[in-house]
Structure 1
Amino acid sequence: MRSMPARFETLPNRRQIIDRRALSDALGELTPDSADITALRQGMVALMRTALEAGRAEIARRIEEHPSRGTEASSAQAFLVDQILRLIYDFTIQRLYPISNPTSSERIALIAVGGYGRGEMAPFSDVDIAFLTPWKQTGWTEQVIESMLYSLWDLALKVGHSSRSLNEMVRMAKSDLTIRTGLLEARYVWGDQALYDEASARFAREVVAGTARTFIAEKLEERNSRHKRMGDSRYVVEPNLKEGKGGLRDLHTLFWIGKYVHQVSTVAELVDKGLFTREELRRFQKAENFLWAVRCHLHTLAGRAEERLTFDFQREIAMRMRYADRPGKSAVERFMQHYFLIAKQVGDLTAMFLAHLDDSFAARGRRFGLPKLRRSPRKLSGFILDRGRLSLPSDDFFEGDPVRLIEIFALADKHEVEIHPSAMRAAARDAKLIDARIRKDPRANALFLDVLTSHRDPESVLRWMNEATIFGRFVPDFGRVVAQMQFDMYHHYTVDEHSIRAIGLLAQIEKGDLKEDHPLASGIARQLVSRRVLYVSVLLHDIAKGRGGDHSVLGAEVAMRLCPRLGMTAAETETVAWLVRWHLLMSATAFKRDLADFKTILDFVETVQSPERLRLLLILTIVDIRAVGPGVWNGWKRQLLSNLFEAAEEVLRLGHKQKGREERIAAKQQSLKLAMAWNDSQIAKAARRLPASYWIAEPLDILLRNARHIAAAGDRPLSIAAQVYPERGATLVTVYASDHPGLFYRVAGAIHLAGGSIIDARIHTTRDGMALDNFLVQDPFGRPFDDVDRLTRLERGIEDALANRNRLADRLAQRPLARTRAEAFTIEPVVLIDNRASNRYTVIEVNARDRPALLNALAHALFQSKVTIHSAHIATYGERAVDTFYITDLIGDKVDGATRLKALERRLLDAAAGEEAREAA
């Protein structure tokens, strides 16, 4: 608990923000003889409102003029609120509820707690205050407190408040960590100074004394829980400035712990206590200043207390803070890269702070929040163990042989021990010793490859290397993507974090830890001949992002240069370069193409060419998708990749011939016959009625569901069934109806109106003119519809649309737009028409900004173009939608002719851009 922060005293031109003397004089002139409390309070509030608005406008002007002065802006906000509170307090006790002979009970101390107590506030931060009384409240103290709160609420301030006696304050601080932390930051604002001083002394004596270890443990546990809630990474692309990992709350936690242990009042005093060096203090203040600047801009733009740095604000804040575009990197990407580097600094400071703290508590027990050493390794190449952590025998140990900068991480991996923070700090300091000579050193490269391809925990050790900046120094191409964000809604992490997570996932798959999620990949991983090729490919697959070209092509060039340096053979180098060049091929083929079309498989195999490459590519594709972020991987993607792998493997094994196709169809028909208990005649009838493409395209479980559906439908011209399909994490919607033009776009519109999103569609026509269409549908959160009422509503909506019972187009137009975050991105629609990708169909791929009912609009455009859709494949990558259609003209031929193709492209472009065009109009 403390008095006015020093940071207020350094505020320039404080009276331009608020002139308390002038305001006090103006308040004194408010009808001086009046006894009308309500009128007096209203007059006071009106004056305060004008002062508050003027003060906020002045602070906003200052940060607009100096957009990087974050701590100054946050101090100015708190200073403004201080003066407003003091004026309201004085006016309340002098004019509204004056008391001539106060008793010892009629005393109030007004104190600031929490962030406001620190003297830091963003434009829309809560005003956290506490009213302290010596004992139980009297009638007068209740009147004063109530009147002040009403005045603050009338000013539209969001007030967090408490009213406690001294004894209540002590009792509650002992029992509640949040209250104790708030009071730790408590600061005298106005009122009875002696009462505040007594509260401060009692807090130190009765609450803090002797409880430091408990407080530290509780705060570190609270921090870990908060990190887990926020995604447990400081490299999420829409970070929470306040609560996220590497955010302001992490800096606050360090100060709280230091203050609790050493009773200091400022961060600077922690240097004298040995918890920070002068350089670490400078980095703390730099990080704090930057984060506060961003937070103040964020609050101002949002017009509310917003803490999440979402895409729609990132671009505007980058402009406000005067970041500029550079070749290959936009202003917003440069701003966010700076943000992530600051968040990384906060992580480094935390590690060092805890190490200093640990040393000061060394005699009293084991370290804070860190595991005990499992064993004591012997051969440490000159390094030493300090309380179970790898450390240096002398401060100049790295200078003697800079290869040790790599070796320390290889030893940490080999012996499964942590690196002492002081050694990490020395490594970060000496990282500049890694020059061209060290990068070419065969021993250094062998040690690095040992870490990368470790059978233990390569993810953790590579992350340590990255934290110490050794990784980027040793592999400069990797250094270019450190803290680099990808400004889209698909990728959740920075490029370096994504790559390191992918390596961790690869290690888990190889160990069999993810066997349930990836049975195929887990089995294949043990058969690989080229294990280290795979690890290096995963590391390099995104290494050329942000260079202003195709990162796959540029990444392959990086691989050709880097792999020989790492000690890889010419054959290994070629395979790594191939994998980096084609690392998106398998997902693009599986998610955007019709795997039932044999030409798709042949084209894919023509690029892959070998079974080993196919195995490597499958695992690389899986870890790449999973490392994008939580919720991106699902059962449907697993099934599509497995189908493509198995079809390609069969072609490679049988020498590029379409053998096995007839056998596969026959096997499926035989399995269906047994499952349905059909006789030969019944299966023969089904085989004649449905084309070969149907039997190839659909897995056995859908064949079975379709057969039961058709049997239940009998002679009805329309039958719709919606059922949960847990294997794919979606709902299977089957429409069995008399085939007619426009069926697909009507179904797509009805599914959208029911709140669904189509992720895949297979459209089949029986030889007697019935449509049998299978749609995979998810809700807006990527989950299946599983409620009976919603399934029924879905079925009824499709039935109404097909029977034309309501005006579908009007209802779609009336539906309000969602997906406001996607509007932060500008995506020009592109239509690609390919007559070579399939022997039977024209393949159309549409890239556009994702929005509700996009698929309906595209399908309607195809209907107007008088073409038949045979299958549709829907993929979304954050804000970007990629919809692929396999079509023919109405007589079953490919669509050709330059004029017709141009008209088709124009119509689809208009449909894809429809929403934006309407908005612009």
Structure 2
Amino acid sequence: MSAQAGDDPAWSAAAKAALAQADARLARRFDAGARADRLIALRARAVDVQVRAAWRRCIPADAPLALFAVGGYGRGELFPQSDVDLLVLAEPDAQQTWQAALARFIALLWDAGLQASHAVRSAGECTEAAADQSVLTALIEARPLAAGEDEAARLAEVLSPQKVWPPEDFYEAKLEEQRLRHARFGDTSDNLEPNLKDGPGGLRDLHLLGWLALRSLGVHTLDKLIELGRLGWDEAAALERERRALCRLRYGLHLVAGRREERLRFDYQKLLAARLGYADDADSLGVEKMMQGFYRSAAVVRRIGDRLLQRFEEHFEGVAAPEPIDAEFERRSGYLAARVPGWLGSDPAHIFALFAAWAVDPSLRGLHSQTARELAQELPQIPAYTDASPALREAFMQLLRGPQPVQTLERMARAGVLGRWIPAFQRVSGRMQFDLFHVFTVDQHTLAVLRNLAGFASGEPDPRFSIAHQVWPSLRKPELLLLAGLFHDIGKGRGGDHSELGAVDARAFCEAMGLSEADTALVEWLVRRHLLMSVTAQKQDITDPEVIHRFAGEVADRQRLDHLYLLTCADIAGTSPKLWNSWKDRLLADLHTATRLALRRGLGQPVAADERIAENREAARALLLASGHDDAAIDALFARMPAENFLRSRPDQIAWQAAALRDARAGEPVVASRAMAGRDGRDGLDVLVHMPDQDGLFAAIVIALDRLGMSVLQARVLDGPDGTIFDTFHVLPAEQRQAPEPALLAASLARALGGDLSRMLPARRSQPQHLRHFRVAPQLDFAEIAGGTRIGLICTDRPGLLADVARVLREQHLRVHDARIATFGERAEDLLLVSDEHNHPLAPDRCDALRAALLAALDGDKR
């Protein structure tokens, strides 16, 4: 007989207290180092006690109802914040009769603090609902809580493959579900905030293997697959090891989040790392060590999971007759396999031969699962390159010189071979950097850089890289650039300058591979100076002939220049999908072109500013003549421009500016905008403002652009004739999906500048949540240079930062002549050239006042 409902509140309170005590006890055991996979089983048992007790309070023992745990709870796994999924098996009449009692039962669970989700179904309704494979997936793991053997057998029967989802159909459906899930989470095994449950290599991928084993072969644990010959003992041990590691991360995440959370968000990463006992040291943050462990676990789950999925495929489709390729290899169902078991282990050279055979035939689907397993078993036998024979070293170099070298390196990396061959690569495998700039682990970034280089080698023009396909054919030995890409970040995480450390590694490797001194020196220099071109283009004025001359002096020859240009493009574009844009493409292409011309001219004959001005003027004139302007009109338009504009702007920019001036009389304000040539506004816009000068005008322009949703990447502020300004900006929409039409942007900006500029203030915005975990202490540097005082500003990036800085400069009555805005994840690194009202450098007391005002503005935005 069920208990009286009047006692339910007291029961729920007692049950809630008991569960809280159990959770606290399990949390203490977790912090003491107990295995999380055992704790989730113990929590499921603790919940079982309360669920069964609540059932008994509400449902008589002779009622025609059966209660099952399903989903993860059915597996006997409950993390601290997991849902409690239940199935009540009851025929329609019983459902109607016991509706109120079932509602009371569920209410009791919720009042006890259990987030119970439930379904009440008849046997027939279970079959109908299981037409949705996700429902079937939950039901096939049903575990009786208050059900006899007959009810359990009946549920199993209505869900049998004869009734719904034959095993092969289930396999295909789950495979497609996995593909969509991986795509949905954006390959988050390699991203900054990975999903422990649903991301690639996460717990859901392990569950998938268990569901397929259950549905296809009728076994409830992966261990049973060993007896069936479907899984090696070593593979089973590796999957179990990574399951425990992932369980520990997920258990701890639930504890620190205090709610159901499956993604390792920045909010929790440091808290979780500390709770798990990871400590900072000179080389790495504790959080980076924790994340590296996750990435490595995910990689193993994916690697072995792919093998097992291939074996399920063979289970359904049968094993096709092998097709011989040569004496060593054959095709099995489209996969590459060694013909003789154990052949891979007889000689390390056979492993490189395997990858060479794979590279020759692009139609191969991959390695056969048996060969992939043998390869994994033989990994410890692969020597480091320092201990390898000359023949083995030459075999590796032949892979770099052969077909698909980048794909081969990527395959070797994913299989673990590259890390054995180059131990330094293994140290950066799975290594993350706790910032917003590097969105991939070091090894995944390296592979992305190599893939970009492969794209340049294809010969097919890529609109993202305007001249890369033209530069690539100039390389005498492309493998040298691949080696530079492979080693450029290999020194990260060792506590020193990663470029210097990587250069040492690169030289040692090249010498061991028998490369000539000239080739070795090129690779070493590229690794050591791989940031040179990026820093020069983004932080210096590459329209200045002196900047070009200094850069050309460091590069020294055309081969270095071409290699460095391609490596820089590949590196920036491989750091983050959002980092590369048309502005960076144009900067690097311009720097490459200008440096090539400087090298051709000779370092002993630097280009003078007057010569550059004349060249740009004549090139712009040719463009205007081609568009129908005559010489007299062109001369009149050029007279309205400052002379320095012909030094600082490209010919196509000068021609566009002249066209914008054409329809306005001298002295009239001109505000114009254009999208990058051949691109839309999402990739960046140029903005020209030509109008009478007044105090605070630069700040007003920047504030107005910020309010219009535009981020300023570069600003060049020039004095025009007759008391005017001639300012050019390169801007990007803050939301690239909402890029404005250039004409609309110009009109909106003109309207904003037509009002009272002194009343224009920056928009106030809250700092984005993800930036709050990455505070960069403000750094300010002042240097007196030709033309004024250069301010170097490093601080935490945020929306409206430049607008706030411009407001401070306006309040200090300073003039801005140039601004370069660089953002590296959460870190802003801006350079501004300013002067006082008389175009003189700032006196020391004004520098002090400006420093205090800027720091106050930056400090006041911790909102």
SS in 2 for 1:76: helix
**Aligned mates of 2:743, 2:271 — CA distance in 1:** 43
Do structure 1's residue 775 and structure 2's residue 729 form an aligned pair?
Answer: yes
SS in 1 for 2:428: coil
SS in 2 for 1:691: coil
* Structure 1: stretches of 5+ with no match in the other structure: 1-23, 367-372
Do structure 1's residue 766 and structure 2's residue 699 form an aligned pair?
Answer: no
1:156-305 aligned at under 5 Å gives the runs 157-173=114-130, 175-191=131-147, 194-204=150-160, 206-207=162-163, 211-232=166-187, 234-305=189-260
Residue 575 of structure 2: aligned partner: 628
Do structure 1's residue 644 and structure 2's residue 644 form an aligned pair?
Answer: no
1:105-124 aligned at under 5 Å gives the runs 107-124=64-81
Contact 1:597 1:693 in 2 (8 A): no
Residue 7 of structure 1: aligned partner: none
Give a deviation string over 1:353-396, Cα, whole Å, max 9, x none. Answer: 23443554463669xxxxxx9x8533x5x455545444345554
The residue type equivalent to 1:62 in the other structure is R
The residue type equivalent to 2:772 in the other structure is E
Residue 350 of structure 2: aligned partner: 404
Residue 276 of structure 2: aligned partner: 321
- Equivalent residue in structure 2 for 1:670, among 621, 634, 638: 621
Shift of the alpha carbon at 1:771?
1.9
**Aligned mates of 2:557, 2:812 — CA distance in 1:** 41
Residue 437 of structure 2: aligned partner: 490
Do structure 1's residue 140 and structure 2's residue 140 form an aligned pair?
Answer: no
SS in 2 for 1:287: helix
**Aligned mates of 1:802, 1:553 — CA distance in 2:** 53
Do structure 1's residue 830 and structure 2's residue 779 form an aligned pair?
Answer: yes
Contact 1:777 1:784 in 2 (8 A): no
Taking structure 1 as reference, are residues 242 and 460 closer, same or farther at Cα in structure 2, changes over 3 Å only? Answer: farther
- Equivalent residue in structure 1 for 2:381, among 417, 423, 433: 433
SS in 2 for 1:147: helix
What TM-score do you get using the length of structure 2 for normalisation?
0.91
- Equivalent residue in structure 2 for 1:420, among 353, 365, 368: 368
Taking structure 1 as reference, are residues 744 and 609 closer, same or farther at Cα in structure 2, changes over 3 Å only? Answer: same
Taking structure 1 as reference, are residues 732 and 480 closer, same or farther at Cα in structure 2, changes over 3 Å only? Answer: same
Contact 1:241 1:247 in 2 (8 A): yes
**Aligned mates of 1:739, 1:569 — CA distance in 2:** 60
The residue type equivalent to 1:314 in the other structure is Q
The residue type equivalent to 1:434 in the other structure is I
Contact 2:624 2:655 in 1 (8 A): no
Give a deviation string over 1:308-337, Cα, whole Å, max 9, x none. Answer: 212332221111100122331221111111
Residue 689 of structure 2: aligned partner: 735
Do structure 1's residue 82 and structure 2's residue 56 form an aligned pair?
Answer: no
The residue type equivalent to 2:157 in the other structure is A
Shift of the alpha carbon at 1:451?
2.4
**Aligned mates of 1:873, 1:534 — CA distance in 2:** 30
SS in 1 for 2:821: strand
Shift of the alpha carbon at 1:700?
5.1
Shift of the alpha carbon at 1:743?
2.4
Residue 48 of structure 1: aligned partner: 15
The residue type equivalent to 1:650 in the other structure is L
Contact 1:724 1:786 in 2 (8 A): no
Residue 768 of structure 2: aligned partner: 819
Taking structure 1 as reference, are residues 790 and 63 closer, same or farther at Cα in structure 2, changes over 3 Å only? Answer: farther
Shift of the alpha carbon at 1:675?
7.0
Q: Identity of counterpart residues, as a percentage?
A: 31
Give a deviation string over 1:421-470, Cα, whole Å, max 9, x none. Answer: 322322332222233687442221222123234432x3433233223322
SS in 1 for 2:297: helix
Taking structure 1 as reference, are residues 153 and 796 closer, same or farther at Cα in structure 2, changes over 3 Å only? Answer: farther
Shift of the alpha carbon at 1:899?
6.7
Residue 298 of structure 2: aligned partner: 343
- Equivalent residue in structure 1 for 2:561, among 614, 630, 639: 614
**Aligned mates of 2:510, 2:354 — CA distance in 1:** 22
Contact 2:127 2:164 in 1 (8 A): no
Contact 2:16 2:113 in 1 (8 A): no
Taking structure 1 as reference, are residues 149 and 277 closer, same or farther at Cα in structure 2, changes over 3 Å only? Answer: same
Taking structure 1 as reference, are residues 873 and 157 closer, same or farther at Cα in structure 2, changes over 3 Å only? Answer: farther
Taking structure 1 as reference, are residues 641 and 216 closer, same or farther at Cα in structure 2, changes over 3 Å only? Answer: same
SS in 2 for 1:804: helix
SS in 1 for 2:162: helix
The residue type equivalent to 2:567 in the other structure is L
Contact 1:124 1:304 in 2 (8 A): yes
**Aligned mates of 2:35, 2:432 — CA distance in 1:** 24
- Equivalent residue in structure 1 for 2:543, among 596, 619, 635: 596
Shift of the alpha carbon at 1:875?
1.5
Moved more, 687-696 or 873-882: 687-696
Matched pairs, number = 854
SS in 2 for 1:90: helix
What TM-score do you get using the length of structure 1 for normalisation?
0.85
Residue 15 of structure 1: aligned partner: none
Give a deviation string over 1:72-129, Cα, whole Å, max 9, x none. Answer: 23223333333332222222225xxxx9xx7xxx622222222222222332223222
Residue 334 of structure 1: aligned partner: 289
Shift of the alpha carbon at 1:841?
5.5
Residue 806 of structure 2: aligned partner: 859
Taking structure 1 as reference, are residues 107 and 773 closer, same or farther at Cα in structure 2, changes over 3 Å only? Answer: farther
Shift of the alpha carbon at 1:822?
2.0
Shift of the alpha carbon at 1:526?
1.6
The residue type equivalent to 1:443 in the other structure is A
Contact 2:474 2:562 in 1 (8 A): no
Taking structure 1 as reference, are residues 275 and 739 closer, same or farther at Cα in structure 2, changes over 3 Å only? Answer: same
Moved more, 51-60 or 83-92: 51-60
Contact 2:385 2:422 in 1 (8 A): no
The residue type equivalent to 1:75 in the other structure is A
The residue type equivalent to 2:205 in the other structure is D
The residue type equivalent to 2:718 in the other structure is H
Contact 1:595 1:601 in 2 (8 A): yes
The residue type equivalent to 2:184 in the other structure is R
Shift of the alpha carbon at 1:732?
4.3
Taking structure 1 as reference, are residues 183 and 225 closer, same or farther at Cα in structure 2, changes over 3 Å only? Answer: same
Taking structure 1 as reference, are residues 584 and 277 closer, same or farther at Cα in structure 2, changes over 3 Å only? Answer: same
**Aligned mates of 1:566, 1:678 — CA distance in 2:** 60
**Aligned mates of 2:431, 2:80 — CA distance in 1:** 29
Do structure 1's residue 507 and structure 2's residue 454 form an aligned pair?
Answer: yes
Contact 2:685 2:730 in 1 (8 A): yes
The residue type equivalent to 1:404 in the other structure is H
**Aligned mates of 1:801, 1:241 — CA distance in 2:** 53
1:871-910 aligned at under 5 Å gives the runs 871-893=818-840, 895=841, 908=854
**Aligned mates of 1:207, 1:699 — CA distance in 2:** 72
SS in 1 for 2:277: coil
The residue type equivalent to 1:651 in the other structure is A
